Chains A and B, each alone.
Chain A
Amino acid sequence: MISAIAEYRGVIVGTIFIALIVGLIAAWIYGRKIIRTEKTDAVFGNPERALGGWYWVFAGVASILLIWFYFSWDAARSFFPDAANELCQVAKVESAMNPVRSTFPIQSRLLKGTSLLARDNLQLDLLDKRLLRSKFTDDEKATYGAAVGKLRAALTSLALPANFSEQTANDIQSIADRIDAVTASLADPNFPGQAEPAEQAAAQAQAGWGESSTEVPIKPTSDRGRKFDQVAKEISTIAKDFSKVRNLSDDFKATVAELNAEIKTLQQEVTDSALEADEKESRVKFIRQIGKLTKRIDDGTVFPPSALDPVEGAVRRFEAEKSNQKGGLNYIDALAMPAGTIVAGNTACSEQGSGRWLPKPSDTLGTLVRISNPDVGFKGIPLLWYEQKPVAEMVGFFIPDWVADLVPGEYPRHQEDGQINENLKTRVLNVATGNFPSITVPVPMGHIWDSILRVLAGLFLGIILGVPLGLFMGLSRFAKGFFDPLIELYRPVPPLAWAPLILTIFGIQDDGKIFLLFMVAFAIMVISARTGATGTQLSKIHAAHSLGASRRQIIKEVILPNSLPEILTGIRISIGVCWGTLVAAEMLAGTTGIGFVENVARKQSDYEIIWVTIILLGVLGLLFDLIMRWIITRTIPWRGKG
C-alpha cells in the first residue's frame, strides 16, 4: 500500500495543496463574515471575542502547511515534476558559461580588465608610499622607484590598443563567432535532433526528482533539456578556449623579462652588501613585493577597453536567447521554487536554498514511514517496537545480587571430579542474576521507547525523593534552612551545564542521563511540594488536629492532598524540562534515543531525518503535556474552588 501511495505522491500532494488553498480561503471568508456580524454589538477588547473559532484554527494550520509545501518545493515537484530536470540542464549551461560571462559587466559591476587595472594600480600606489616612508638610502629609493615605475608602465601598456596584436583580435573574433553559432543552434527548433535510443533509455531509467539520494536526475529527459545539455557541452569547450586568449605582445614579454632580471640583481646586491641582517630583510621584502606584482600582470589578462566587445555582444545575445528558450521555466524557477534554485555540480544536480534544508512534507512523511518499519529503523534500532525478553532477565534486574550473599552457608567449591554441586546459595544467586529458564514476554524497545523510559525513570526518582523532601521543607524550619542552600546551589545552573560532568561520572549510558534528569526533576519537585505544603491553610490543620489526627495522618491526609495541585503542576513542568534536557544530553553522548538519531542525522546533513525527529519530539512533548493535563483535571477537580 505504501508503495502505491509513493507512486501517486505527486497527485496526492497536489490535491492536498489545492484543498488547503480552497479551505484557507473558505475559512477566511467565513471567519470575516462572523466578525462582521459581531461588530454591531461587541465592544473592542471584549475577551469573548478572542475565543477564536475552529475556522481560524483551520486557517492557521492551513497557512503553515501551505508555507511548508511551498517553500520546500513539494508543490513545485507535484505540479511541475519535470521542471527540475530541465532546470538542471539550464544550470549546466550557466556553470559552463560562467567563466566567460564573469569577464563582462553582465552580472558584476565592472569589466574584469577594469577591476584588475584598478586593483593592480592600487597595489603599485601602496608600494610607492611604502618606499617614501622607508629608511632606505636615497640611492636605493631611486633604484627601487624606477623598478616600480617600469612595472606601472608595463601594466598600462596592456590597455593601449596600439600594443594589441592582430592575432589576438582574430582569436577573440573567432570565440565570438563560435558563441553566435551556439546561439543559433539554441534557437533552432530541430537542434539537437533525435535522441539515441540507448541514451533515451538511460535517461528514462534515472530515479525521479527526490526519489533517491541524487536529488535531481542529471541526464536530460525532455527535448528542451537535451538542447540545453548539448549547448552546455559546446559552451564549455568555447569557455576553455576563451580562457587561453591572452594580451601578450613581444614588447610586453620583453619588458617583463627585463623586470624579472632586474629584480634578481637587486636582490643579489642586497644579499651581498654589508648591511645589518634586519636592514637586509626589509629591502629583500620590498623587492619581493615588486616581483609578486610583476607575476600578477605577466599573464596578460588586461585587454584594451573595447578589445573584447565582440565576445561581450555574443554572450549577451546568447543569454537573451537562453532566457527565450527557457520560456515558462523562468517563471517556475522564480515563483514555484522560491528562495533558491537548482544548481549543477560535476556529477549531480541538486536543490539549493529552502528546497534543500526544508524537506518536503511528503518526503518527511515517507522517511518517517520508512524508519518506523522495525526492520529498517535507524542505525539498526527500530524507532518503537517490541522484543521478546525472558522474564528471568527482568527478575534478575530487580533483585540485587547480594541477596544471595545473605543466605546462610557457603558457595560450593568444585569437587575433584570437576562437579559443582548446587546448594541453596547458588540457587538464590541464579534467581538474582536472572540465570534460570523462563517464559519470554514482549517488551517495548527502540529509540523512542529509550527516550521515554529515561525521562520517566528520571522523573520517577525525582518525584520519589523530591516530594517527601519538599513536604519536609515545607513543614520544618530546620529542613527549609538546611536543604535550601543545597538545592539553590545547583538548581539555577542550566541542566546541560552539568551534563559533561555527570556523563563523565555516571557514564554515557542510561545511568548518566537518568541522573541528569533526576537532578532536573528533583529540584522542581522539591520546590513545588514545598510550595504546596506551606500553602496549606492553618484552619485545615487545626481541624484535623481536633478531629484526632496524628502528625503522620495530618501529613498523609491533609498536607499531601492539599499540595497535590502544586505537585502535579510540578510534574507537568518537570516532564517538559526533562524532555528538553534529555534530547540535548542524548546529542552529547549515547547510542540510542531520539536525540541520538537527530545528532547522527545532523552529522550526515540528513535534513529529512532531522525534521522527522523534530516532529516526533514535538508530538511526544505535546502528548506528555496532554496526558498530564488530563490527569490534573481528573485528580484535582477541586483546584481553584477550595
Chain B
Amino acid sequence: MTFSTDLAVTVGSVAMETPLIVASGLWPFDGPFWCEEALGGIGAVSSKGLTLHPRPGNGGVRVWETPSGLLNSIGLQNPGVEAFAGEIIPGLPRRRPLIANVAVERLDDLERSLDLLQAMNLPPEVVELNVSCPNVDGGGMAWGLDASGVRQVLDVARPVWRGPLWLKLTPQAPRLDEITAAAESGGADALVVANTWLGMAIDVDRRSPVFDRTFAGLSGPAVFPLSLRLLWETASLTALPLIGCGGVSSGRDVLAMIMAGASAVEVGTALVREFHAPLRFCREISAYLEERGLRSVASLSGCAREGRKERR
C-alpha cells in the first residue's frame, strides 16, 4: 500500500498507515477479507461488537434503506469473546492493527471479556468500548448516555485492559461535556465520535414499524454533517485524541473530520455501497495533498479550528 504522500497517522500510541479505520460491524471474519488485497487503503480494522457470550442478534428486518442512509438493527450478533480470542483471530492474518469492539452488557461480563482479550498471545492493538449500541436491551447504549455510566464502565475496564482504550460515544447522550470529563478522568485514551443516530421507519404497506425493536441506528451520508458537528464540539471539550465516525463517504469527508480535530476516521456504511471505498478515499486525500504541496495528512489535524474563538 503506497501513496505518493504521507497518509500515516497516530492515535495516541497507535500508529496506522492511513487514517481510515473500518468501523465496527462491517468487516467479516472470513479469511479473504484479512488479506492485503481486501485491505487496500485501510489503516486498521474494528471488529464486530463482541459480548462475553455468543449472541444471536435481533429477529425481523435488520437493515432498511433511507434517503442517503441506512437504518440497522442487527442486535450485536457475534460469536462471543471466547471464540473471538481463542479461535477466530488466531486463525486470521494480522496485517493491520486490530481494534476489538467490546459491547457492554453487564460489568462483570465486561471484566471477563477484557481478561480474555488481554490473555491472548497477540492481543488486539486497541479495545474500543462500545457504550453506544442502540439495538439491544440491558446495557448497550444505556452505559454511554450519562457520565456515571461511562465512569462505571471505565472503572471496570481500565484496570484490566492495559493497552489503548477507546470509548465509542453515542450521539444520544445529552451532556457531552460531562461525558468527555468522565472519559478523561476514567482513563480513556481516545474517543470515537460517534455511533449511530437513533431513528425509525414505518412500513406503510404493513402499517407497522419496520423493526421489531421499533427504533434502529441511522448511519451513512445522511448523518455526516451531524457527526462532524458532534466531533467539532467534542474537540472543543477535550484534548483526548478523537476518531471521527458517521457518514464519511469521500476523501473530502475524511479531510473535513481531520480538519475538525480528528486524528483518524472510521468508515462503515460507505463500504456497503463501494467495497473498495477506503482505497478511493486515500487516493483522493493523496491528490489533495499533492496539489497543495502539503507533506502529510496528519499536519492538517484540527487546522479548521485555528483562529476560531472557542474554549480550547
Binding between chains A and B:
no
Interface residues of B (CB under 8 A from A): none
